[in-house]
Structure 1
Amino acid sequence: MRNGLGLKWVISGSFLLLIAVVLLIYSLLLPEYSVRGLLYTASAMMEEEAQYFARHYKKDPNTPPPHNYFYTSVIGKEALPEKIRHLLDTPPSLSFGALQAFGDLDSDDENEGRAVLAQPLSDGKTLYMYDVDHDMEEGGEVETPLSDAYIERQLRGVNLISLAVFVPALIIIALLVWWLVRPLERMAQWSSTLKDADAVSSQRPSFGFKEFNMLADTLAQSVQQVQAASLREGRLLRYTSHELRTPLAVLKANIELLTLQSGGVLPPPLQRIERSVLNMQRIAETLLWMSRELPEPLPEEPIDMSGLVTELIEEHRYLIGTRDIELLLDISSTPCRLPLTACRIVVGNFLRNALQYADEGSVEISFDYPQLRIVNRIREAKQLEPSNDFGYGLGLELMRQLSARLGWRIEVLMEQQLFTVTLDFNAAPPAEELPALQSAPEPQS
């Protein structure tokens, strides 16, 4: 709902900003072009008066130069006032029509801005016309109340026209935005109900536009596909875990009978079977826990990581065989509270990989809460054929998934002749939803 309202305000605000910019430009250009119109009028009047005088001057050189309230004129540059002669020696600040402006025409200082027109005459002389400043005269400038009132009325009309454009535009934009954004708000509300399978299978409401309805259909189909895949994955995980428990129970019972018959000591082949059964039992329990939609937190208990790693090394020592592999341990004996079963599975998986793929090298295992690090050094790295099945137990990606549920983080660093796996037990809170796993080769560790 908040996103829909935000979109509404963004669209309406954009349109209103556009209209405001247009009105602002119009308001700025209106006085500019109004001044230009006045300048054009003054230029046309003075140019017409100068040409009229030039025609009469050609017939009668004694014709007096034109003079009125707004401007006066003289023949010859020498007859100009000294201040205007100095202005003519400088470049004009503005040229409009036949006039040239020097300085700022809007200034109150008579020396700051003057308008001058130069008209050549038939005898080679030049008629100079320039505006007259009446502010310095006695009584000051003559007021023009009727003309000023007319201009004020016209400006008020311009303001009314601006409001007449802005207010209807605001109403039209608000209606248009409501008409377009309202279906999006309804779609956002409807999409939030798609978490329920019944809502997905129910009939989709109409959103008024063909494009919105197509988008809603595509969204509902995508949610149905994701839900179906999630259900298939969950069923497969639960069924597989349940089906494993029966043969595991049978194997475990028979191994116990064989242990009693052999006097409490099993031969090496049966010991390997016993270890595999125990490992599979723990994996099945963990898979069942992970298959729950909202799994309960696994119980934590004090763990001696040194004793746990030593026990796991003994369980997997058979993987070393006759290879010359040196185990370097640096494990803190400080007790920590962790889920024992999950910790055995994850640490055992990484240790199994390290022992299984180390080739005449060394394996360094260090622990300082909250980080456990396993470094697999290989003295002579052999080129292995690319494969997705190297016997990684549950696999690195499934370890990532299990660790994410528990709030742990796994980091794998692969360099030449060096594989480092770091398990951080205190990285982040458990994730409620995990991303889908991608099929990718698992690195050796």
Structure 2
Amino acid sequence: MRNGLSLKWVISGSFLCLIAVVLVIYSKLLPEFTVRGLFYTASAMMEEEAQYFVRHYKQDPTTPTPHNYFYTSVIGKEALPQDVRELLSTSPSLSFGAVNIFGDLYSDDDDEPFQIILEQPLGDGKTLYMYDIDHDKEAGGEVETPLSDAYFDQVIESVKFISLAVFVPALIIIALLVWWLVRPLGRLVQWSGTLKDPEALTGTRPGFSFKEFNMLADALAKSVEQVQAASQREGRLLRYTSHELRTPLAVLKANIELLALQSGGVLPPSLQRIERSVLNMQLIAETLLWMSRERPESLPEEDVNLSEVVGELIEKHRYLIGNRDIKLSIDIHNEPCRLPPTACRIVIGNFLRNALQYAEEGTVDISFKYPRLVIANYINEAKPRQESDDYGYGLGLQLMRQLCAKLGWQIEVLREQQRFTVILDFTSVRDTPPADGAPGAC
């Protein structure tokens, strides 16, 4: 998948991250609970021994205090070693069961061992203190236990093996699950790319293993079919409309020419308005017919002098000014440009006609310096309920947008307070695309 993450990698990565988190938590909690298990064993042994001593002490106060390799005991705090008495004056690091633990439990420094101390009241005001013995400071050091250490190492290796045995099968299962889920999704994506062909819609749709994918494929095929049907209806409407309009327009144009000949070449104002309307309708019909083609051929280009074209169009549409006090400010360079002349007349004529028709009294600015033609006019303030920025331009501007999109030209519409500006850029977007976010780009 280009420009994005693949679904199978997202799913598999998520599962692997989940397993990794579980294993990390497991590895962190295992030493913690192992140490707590050892403390529980020590607490249970010392508490049981202390309770056993209390039972015999009540019968015979001369009963000797418990003593073995792991811990020893004394009666009274004064009988404790100096270091143990100092620990009792501090707060314990952990209280676990019947014992208090002093010192750093997780330190790797052997010079800072922890101390386990149990305090057991004897009932006669005295207290039995039981504490573990540090054999490292004795001559010969601590007694080695190779058999027990070997067993413990074997248990740790078993734990590691179990962790690996969980991770590897889980990875394989996840890979198979992702393949099982993503494979039909990939087939669905591949099949959806063929829906632009009408035969793919009429043919048999492949199965995608899962009911949800099949439902999605049905909805996608139905949606594409509706879009294609709407596009075909729109194309037929454009073709039929333009074809049906061309015949009556040709009849009107021919009869107007006959009337002009009969009247000595000068038509009355009413017939002049009809002539101009017929010409505008003829241009629109030709535009619709050209736009309705699925693959419109490239229009022939010629050296066009936009100064002459704009001058002719101004004279043709000057009647739109009427009695309004409108002045034209024209600044057009005379250099010829390689452009399709018919398309230029249609687009520029539409913009100029709208500018003269909807302009308020003032100046209509028309300027051209290749490749940008700018037409600006003053308008009334639009009411708040008007949502369109194409104030006064309506369908004509929408048609021009589509026409320019097919030609590769760019249209930019600006509305600043009471000024409406249309900028036509003849630079083809196929050759020099506009910057991202440029408004009005075709």
TM-score by structure 1 length?
A: 0.84
Residues 1:141 and 1:186: Cα distance change in structure 2 (over 3 Å): same
Distance 1:177 1:2 in 2: 19
Secondary structure of the structure 1 residue equivalent to 2:68:
coil
The equivalences for 1:132-171 within 5 A come to: 132-171=133-172
Residue of structure 1 equivalent to 2:438: none
Secondary structure of the structure 2 residue equivalent to 1:161:
helix
Distance 2:384 2:14 in 1: 60
Residues 1:76 and 1:428: Cα distance change in structure 2 (over 3 Å): farther
2:119 is aligned with 1:118: yes
2:14 is aligned with 1:14: yes
Note the C-alpha offset of 1:27: 2.4
Residues 1:385 and 1:59: Cα distance change in structure 2 (over 3 Å): closer
Residues 1:420 and 1:391: Cα distance change in structure 2 (over 3 Å): closer
Residue of structure 2 equivalent to 1:421: 422
Instruction: Give the length in aligned residue pairs.
Output: 430
Distance 2:39 2:177 in 1: 44
Residue of structure 2 equivalent to 1:439: none
Which of 196-205 and 106-115 deviates more?
A: 106-115
Distance 1:142 1:244 in 2: 111
Residue of structure 2 equivalent to 1:99: 99
1:347 counterpart letter in structure 2: I
Note the C-alpha offset of 1:19: 2.6
Residue of structure 2 equivalent to 1:82: 82
2:171 counterpart letter in structure 1: L
Distance 1:408 1:17 in 2: 50
1:47 counterpart letter in structure 2: E
Residues 1:301 and 1:68: Cα distance change in structure 2 (over 3 Å): farther
Residues 1:3 and 1:363: Cα distance change in structure 2 (over 3 Å): closer
Distance 1:4 1:420 in 2: 39
Note the C-alpha offset of 1:227: 1.0
Secondary structure of the structure 1 residue equivalent to 2:150:
helix
Is the contact between residue 409 and residue 427 of structure 1 (CA under 8 Å) also seen in structure 2? Answer: yes
1:69 counterpart letter in structure 2: Y
Distance 1:375 1:2 in 2: 43
* Offset from partner CA, 1:351-386 (integer Å, 9 cap, x none): 1112112233332223344333322214x6697998
Distance 1:42 1:96 in 2: 10
Residues 1:391 and 1:44: Cα distance change in structure 2 (over 3 Å): closer
* Offset from partner CA, 1:8-48 (integer Å, 9 cap, x none): 23223322332332233222222211111111001111122
Is the contact between residue 328 and residue 366 of structure 2 (CA under 8 Å) also seen in structure 1? Answer: yes
Residue of structure 2 equivalent to 1:67: 67
The equivalences for 1:28-427 within 5 A come to: 28-107=28-107, 108-253=109-254, 269=270, 271-378=272-379, 392=393, 395-426=396-427
* Offset from partner CA, 1:268-311 (integer Å, 9 cap, x none): 55555554444444433332322222333333444333333222
Residue of structure 1 equivalent to 2:437: none
Distance 2:330 2:220 in 1: 53
Is the contact between residue 104 and residue 112 of structure 2 (CA under 8 Å) also seen in structure 1? Answer: no
Secondary structure of the structure 1 residue equivalent to 2:412:
strand
Distance 2:46 2:294 in 1: 92
Residues 1:3 and 1:374: Cα distance change in structure 2 (over 3 Å): closer
Distance 1:30 1:58 in 2: 42
Secondary structure of the structure 1 residue equivalent to 2:330:
strand
Is the contact between residue 370 and residue 424 of structure 1 (CA under 8 Å) also seen in structure 2? Answer: yes
TM-score by structure 2 length?
A: 0.85
Distance 2:376 2:399 in 1: 20
Residue of structure 1 equivalent to 2:23: 23
Residues 1:63 and 1:369: Cα distance change in structure 2 (over 3 Å): farther
Secondary structure of the structure 2 residue equivalent to 1:395:
helix
Residues 1:299 and 1:78: Cα distance change in structure 2 (over 3 Å): farther
* Offset from partner CA, 1:53-91 (integer Å, 9 cap, x none): 233333333333322222222322223232222222221
1:358 counterpart letter in structure 2: A
Residues 1:308 and 1:141: Cα distance change in structure 2 (over 3 Å): farther
Note the C-alpha offset of 1:197: 0.4
Which of 37-46 and 291-300 deviates more?
A: 291-300
Residues 1:128 and 1:330: Cα distance change in structure 2 (over 3 Å): farther
Distance 1:306 1:78 in 2: 116
Residue of structure 1 equivalent to 2:436: none
Distance 1:19 1:148 in 2: 31
Distance 1:69 1:2 in 2: 70
Is the contact between residue 358 and residue 392 of structure 2 (CA under 8 Å) also seen in structure 1? Answer: no
Distance 2:391 2:90 in 1: 92
Residues 1:315 and 1:193: Cα distance change in structure 2 (over 3 Å): same
The sequence identity of aligned pairs, in percent, is 74
Residue of structure 1 equivalent to 2:440: none
Note the C-alpha offset of 1:96: 0.9
Distance 1:4 1:362 in 2: 52
5+ residue gaps, structure 2, are 433-442
5+ residue gaps, structure 1, are 432-445
Residues 1:26 and 1:275: Cα distance change in structure 2 (over 3 Å): same
Residues 1:40 and 1:385: Cα distance change in structure 2 (over 3 Å): closer
Distance 2:408 2:269 in 1: 38
Task: Please tell me the root mean square deviation across aligned C-alpha atoms, in Å.
Answer: 3.4
Distance 1:109 1:156 in 2: 25
